[in-house]
Structure 1
């Protein structure tokens, strides 16, 4: 995740915490820190949180990255046989004939 996405995600989390405080306790943390809702710094923070939320929509629609590449290699290397008693069995007679011919 690049630096811009991390900063945007941090601002969205700050905004979510602020909205949680407003919803549960009627306390606006950003407004109390920066001098009220009409203060220039508070409005800048509100604007940055809003823009960060819009930017984080790109994270939502990014394709998921596979973190464990060994998992794919392991699944390709193993050859599982889920046969039953009634299923077809592997014919080893042709392999034995080839070994005898060598």
Structure 2
């Protein structure tokens, strides 16, 4: 499952960088590359959001590692 954690983390980092670009430069990289709310960009936004929700479980796993 470590490979899935790495993919999820990578997608969340890409999403965070996209939000940084939106906040600082008003530039949405995903919309620029794949079209403004096209089906592909909506899939990417959905995957980033789902990975973010999945990574919430990381808090519990980190706490479990520190207790050992």
TM-score band by shorter chain is 0.7 to 0.9
Shift of 1:61: 1.5
Select the structure with the greater relative contact order (CA < 8 A; seq sep ≥ 6): 2
Pick the structure with greater CA Rg.
1
| Paired position in structure 2 for 1:16 | 16
More helix by share: 2
Root-mean-square deviation (CA, aligned residues, Å) is 1.6
The TM-score with structure 1 as length reference comes to 0.60
Shift of 1:9: 0.4
| Paired position in structure 2 for 1:58 | 57
CA distance in 1, matches of 2:8, 2:18: 15
Q: Which runs of 5+ in 1 are unaligned?
A: 66-102
Post-superposition, which runs of at least 4 consecutive aligned residues in structure 1 deviate over 4 A? none
Q: Which runs of 5+ in 2 are unaligned?
A: none
